Chains A and B, each alone.
Chain A
Amino acid sequence: MLYRISCTEMDALFAALSETKTVYLPADREDGQASFVKWTEGTALSNRLNTVRSAKDFFFPQIQPLARFRREGQKIEITDLREESEDFVIFGARACDVRSFEILDRVFLADPVDTSYQTRREHAAIVTMACARPEETCFCTAFDIDPAKPADGDVRAYIADGYCYLEPLTEKGETLLAGAGECLEESDGAAVEAEAGRIRAILEKLPLASLKPADNREKELDVFNSPKWEEMASHCLGCGACTFVCPTCQCFDINDFDSGHGIERYRCWDSCMYHDFTLMASGTPRLTQKERFRQRFMHKLVYYPIRYDGVFSCVGCGRCLRKCPINMNIVKVMKELTGVRPAGAGEEA
């Protein structure tokens, strides 16, 4: 079944959905970028390709209080600070971000299950928006993601000819749209097929369209020992920008904060790019940025595939291509590891 609503009526749709659930959607910011925000009347859906931070924040927030410890005489009082999740809708995440949830699921929903992640996942309904205007930094097709006809999420959406088309993919998606009430009208698939075809034609012309990650599962040690890491990592600043905007990076740290009245234990994102990521009592085994840099890409392109049947821990969203201060990124690494160097500029610019 396919539904549609005029783009000028979107507020009515969001209002209807908001009656039972909190709706989050990407909205434009003053600085020309987009972020996910909670919908309130008048919040418009952004046309930007992607948000600065990925949608993983909804399930795996950057910082999450876990427990509070307080001492009363001889007793220690422990309060669980994890919050029950409420039903919510992520409206308009891109296919790459939605695929990243699967990658995170394999880690957080495997035994032992991360219950906090699990509840958030269960409470979420996801509306995946097809990418009307893919950009040069996009390479999701390298990971078999189809932004022209997103396969993941509960509802697939398109914006074409002044209408937003919505197609439920799961039972949860059907219930969600049923709850949207009167504002949706049924539609045939012609406009959607045409839009998907238009997008596919663009995808073929993307500069990174031919990129394919090498399956290096059998060559783990060769890749690990490759002399290329030294050069690739040589100018890495060791910041965590790539990690923190990445939809699939999942490392975290658990820390205690002494408030003076007690201890608050929280979990927060960590980055393997940091020099103290692997710090132990005996020091750190990853002595230079080369080892840290290598770890990040080995994890995404080799270790994760080894562990999970050849699935790569990258969705090709292109955020690291945009946000790295020195423009070193996974695409350059992938090309190096398959023996291809980025094209140079030999001539006068």
Chain B
Amino acid sequence: MQRELINRARELLADGTVDRVLGWQAGQFAYDITPAVFTDAGELEAHFVYNEFCADNLSKYLIKESEKEGKVLAFLKPCDTYSFNQLVTEHRIRREHVYVIGVESYGKADVEKLRARGISGITGVETVSGMLKVHTMYGDESVPLNEVMLDRCLTCKSKKHVVYDELIGEDGDVVADSGRFDMVEKLERMTAKERFSFWQGELSRCIRCNACRNVCPACTCENCVFDNPGSGLQNRAARDNFEEKLFHIIRAYHVAGRCTDCGECSRVCPEHIPLHLLNRKFIKDFNELYGPFQAGEVSGQMSPMCAYTETADPEASVVRKGGAE
């Protein structure tokens, strides 16, 4: 796969179709991949990588990249294409400045899950037919990839590329039984008190590093309300539990209807807070109250937050009908 990507990128650079290539760059170990822009064949050959740790959603970088002169080639995984479409819808990406190659992805590995299993000193990783062979300083370990995949990949909503100029590898389908709302449902079935203590435990670990916000392809405000001294809400750290909740409610609320469920927020959280559950709650509510909706599925669709109907919308009291107190 990696070889094909490099070859195709070299061809497109050589024939002048694109001026730059947005992809992933190898790090010092097997897993520490960094997004990068490549401008020539030499760089591609030396540093470009595509493997089971290339999890970064590159669509966010296209906001800046597509503003520049010329055309950029972007490799997008199925989930990234949803974000891309959504950003095109919001006029944040200049579509004509991007050449999209869809790349297949059957789930990315989570190095934190390897570590949680006590695998440490990781010096190399190979994938052999669904198994991760992990070389460590303390001996080799073999782990099935699907046991250490990122949570978002375990509940993948779609392996379909919703937008591309060309495709490398195979296109998949929307996954009907992804089970991605299972945990949300589990929480809904709890009592309010149980939910409260669940979230209190999770959110109290937040260190307000803003990684969830900054990595999010839907968070594209030039000046976030939490950074703006004029907003009265500027806040660097939570002094009270309230501020932890305020930040995370507003973060999720502001992207509600635009969040494609790419799962980057939870992937990057240093404290492993399941932030995607907040986003999924909104997605589930939209689906159930106002009809099925998938942000980024096609470009140009209106957010369900704005697409009201005069007679079919339930009253706000509908939220009181579900779940015990």
Interface residues of A (CB under 8 A from B): 31-33, 35, 49, 52-53, 62-63, 65, 133-136, 202, 205-208, 234-235, 237-241, 243-245, 253, 255, 257, 264, 266, 268-271, 274-276, 279, 321, 323, 325-329, 331-332, 342-346, 348-349
B237 touches A63 (CB 8 A): yes
B239 touches A348 (CB 8 A): no
B210 touches A240 (CB 8 A): yes
B207 contacts the other chain (Cβ, under 8 Å)? Answer: yes
A345 touches B214 (CB 8 A): no
Q: In the bound complex, how far is the Cα of B209 from the Cα of A36, in angstroms?
A: 19
- The number of chain B residues touching the other chain, given as a range, is 35 or more
Q: In the bound complex, how far is the Cα of B115 from the Cα of A332, in angstroms?
A: 22
B238 touches A136 (CB 8 A): no
Question: Can you report 28 A-B residue pairs in the complex whose CB atoms are below 8 A from each other?
Answer: A31-B272, A33-B271, A35-B205, A134-B137, A135-B121, A136-B29, A136-B136, A136-B137, A206-B137, A207-B28, A207-B29, A207-B123, A237-B211, A239-B209, A240-B209, A245-B209, A269-B237, A276-B227, A323-B270, A325-B56, A327-B27, A327-B34, A332-B27, A342-B26, A344-B46, A348-B3, A349-B51, A349-B126
A269 touches B236 (CB 8 A): yes
Report the nearest B residue to A31, measured CB to CB: B272
B34 touches A253 (CB 8 A): no
A202 touches B137 (CB 8 A): yes
B49 touches A349 (CB 8 A): yes
Tell me the B1-25 residues at the A interface (CB within 8 Å): 2-3, 25
Tell me which residues across on chain A come within 8 A of B47, comparing CB atoms: 344-345
B239 touches A65 (CB 8 A): yes
A52 touches B214 (CB 8 A): no
Q: In the bound complex, how far is the Cα of B36 from the Cα of A257, in angstroms?
A: 40
B116 in complex: contacting residue of A33, A235, A240, CB < 8 Å: A33
Tell me which residues across on chain B come within 8 A of A135, comparing CB atoms: 120-122, 137
B61 contacts the other chain (Cβ, under 8 Å)? Answer: yes
B320 contacts the other chain (Cβ, under 8 Å)? Answer: no
Q: In the bound complex, how far is the Cα of B205 from the Cα of A348, in angstroms?
A: 40
B50 touches A342 (CB 8 A): no
A237 touches B32 (CB 8 A): no
> Which 9 A-B pairs give the minimum distances between C-beta atoms?
A32-B116, A325-B268, A327-B32, A268-B237, A239-B211, A345-B26, A237-B214, A241-B209, A239-B214
Tell me which residues across on chain B come within 8 A of A342, comparing CB atoms: 26-28
Q: In the bound complex, how far is the Cα of B123 from the Cα of A202, in angstroms?
A: 13
Secondary structure call for the A interface: loop
B117 contacts the other chain (Cβ, under 8 Å)? Answer: yes
Further pairs besides A245-B209, A328-B34, A345-B47: 13, Cβ < 8 Å: A32-B112, A62-B208, A63-B238, A133-B121, A133-B138, A208-B28, A239-B209, A240-B210, A244-B208, A266-B239, A268-B239, A325-B211, A325-B267
B120 touches A133 (CB 8 A): yes
Determine which residue in A33, A235, A268, A274 has the highest number of CB atoms from chain B within 10 A of its CB, and name it.
Answer: A235
B34 touches A326 (CB 8 A): yes
A33 touches B209 (CB 8 A): no
Tell me which residues across on chain B come within 8 A of A207, comparing CB atoms: 28-29, 123
Tell me which residues across on chain B come within 8 A of A52, comparing CB atoms: 270-271
Q: In the bound complex, how far is the Cα of B47 from the Cα of A344, in angstroms?
A: 5
Tell me which residues across on chain A come within 8 A of B272, comparing CB atoms: 31-33
B28 in complex: contacting residue of A53, A238, A325, A332, CB < 8 Å: A332
Say yes or no: A235-B46 contact (C-beta < 8 A), given A31-B272, A136-B122. Answer: no
Instruction: Name the distance in Å between B136's Cβ and chain A's nearest Cβ.
Output: 8
Q: In the bound complex, how far is the Cα of B56 from the Cα of A332, in angstroms?
A: 18
Tell me which residues across on chain A come within 8 A of B122, comparing CB atoms: 135-136
B72 contacts the other chain (Cβ, under 8 Å)? Answer: no
Report the nearest B residue to A253, measured CB to CB: B236
B283 contacts the other chain (Cβ, under 8 Å)? Answer: no
A331 touches B28 (CB 8 A): yes
B50 touches A349 (CB 8 A): yes
Q: In the bound complex, how far is the Cα of B208 from the Cα of A245, in angstroms?
A: 11
B121 touches A321 (CB 8 A): no
Q: In the bound complex, how far is the Cα of B207 from the Cα of A299, in angstroms?
A: 22
